[in-house]
Amino acid sequence: MPGGCSSAACPGHALSPYATSYCWDVLSGPRLRQVALVARDCDQVAGELDRAFGWPPPFHDPGVGRFGLTNAVFAAGDTFVEVVAPAQPDTTAGRYLERRGGDGGYMAIFQVPDLAAARRRVADLGVRVVWATDLPDIAGTHLHPRDVPGAIVSLDWAAPEQSWRWAGPSWTGQAPGHAPGGVTGLTIEVNDPAAAARRWAAVLGISAANSGPDTVVELPEPGQRLRFVPARDGHGEGITEVTIAGLPDGGPWVIGGVRFAVEEG
């Protein structure tokens, strides 16, 4: 990416299992920064995450009320796990719950270094935008799930790049002290894994590669990957697993219809 650098170019980058794509405060490519679960009961699922992982208290964003939702956003390292729940009838999240048959993974939010280029890319691909916002320190672009199968994908930008306004005041314009670790990957159930992998990779501006029976997209972030697998009978498409470095020993845990697994190695 213009203005970025490879992880190998950063002194000490390879020494830490929790190193990120930031090199001298520059993001080198698309990074999976946040994953959202949708649940019928936000407080219940947030409580299960808290008891299982002991993350700092979540941020509750009043801004999601515009979508008819309530939420809780947990910091896992400098990445984020969000729970959203419908607070009124006829919401996108509520329809997803019905289609999926219960709680499950809902959104994948990627931080990109050049949002204008990313928006041009998705327009060229014919991908529809269902919501966008541009603030001085953060911007977001939600893509139509019929055009990018398996989840609602969002392409976001933040300044400074370590900050993340969606996680609340302590992450607005800055990055507070935080534990190591963070979200390293997703498993997404889709009707056509190979086609979905190609589509997500094209949207992110990277390449897709086949790995064994599953189709995997490797992200520039060291160790981050997206794995696409066939959807099970009787279930709609969706995110079914999140891998995270820095979880406590034990697991895996199934919370909010999603399997949380420790990133190994």
Read off the pLDDT band of 22 (50, 70, 90). very low
Helix (H, G, I), strand (E, B) or coil at 256: coil
Residue 77 has pLDDT above 60, yes or no: yes
Q: Can you tell me the distance from the alpha carbon of 34 to that of 36, in angstroms, rounded to the nearest whole number?
A: 7
Nearest C-alpha neighbor of 13 from the set 4, 24, 2, 3: 24
Q: Please give the sequence-ordered ranges of beta strands (E in DSSP) within the chain, or none if there are none.
A: 22-23, 26-27, 31-38, 69-76, 79-86, 104-111, 129-134, 138-143, 152-158, 182-190, 209-211, 214-218, 225-230, 238-245, 253-255, 258-262
Residue 144 has pLDDT above 70, yes or no: yes
Residue 5 has pLDDT above 80, yes or no: no
Average pLDDT on 17-36 reads: 71
Average pLDDT on 76-87 reads: 97
Q: Phi-psi category of 26—alpha, beta or left, where left has phi over 0 and alpha has psi -120 to 50?
A: beta
Give the chain's mean pLDDT. 88
How many Cβ atoms are within 10 Å of 43's Cβ, its own excluded? 12
Q: What is the pLDDT of residue 23?
A: 47
Q: What is the pLDDT of residue 26?
A: 67
DSSP label at residue 19: -
Q: What is the pLDDT of residues 206-231, one digit of tens each?
A: 987 755 556 999 999 888 999 999 99
Read off the pLDDT band of 3 (50, 70, 90). very low
Residue 11 has pLDDT above 70, yes or no: no
Residue 8 has pLDDT above 50, yes or no: no
Q: What is the pLDDT of residue 10?
A: 42
The distance from CA 151 to its chain's CA centroid, rounded to whole angstroms, is 10
Average pLDDT on 73-95 reads: 95
User: Residues near 66 by Cβ (< 8 Å), separated by ≥ 6?
Assistant: none
Q: What is the pLDDT of residues 104-140, one digit of tens each?
A: 999 999 999 999 999 999 999 999 999 999 999 999 9
Average pLDDT on 238-261 reads: 95
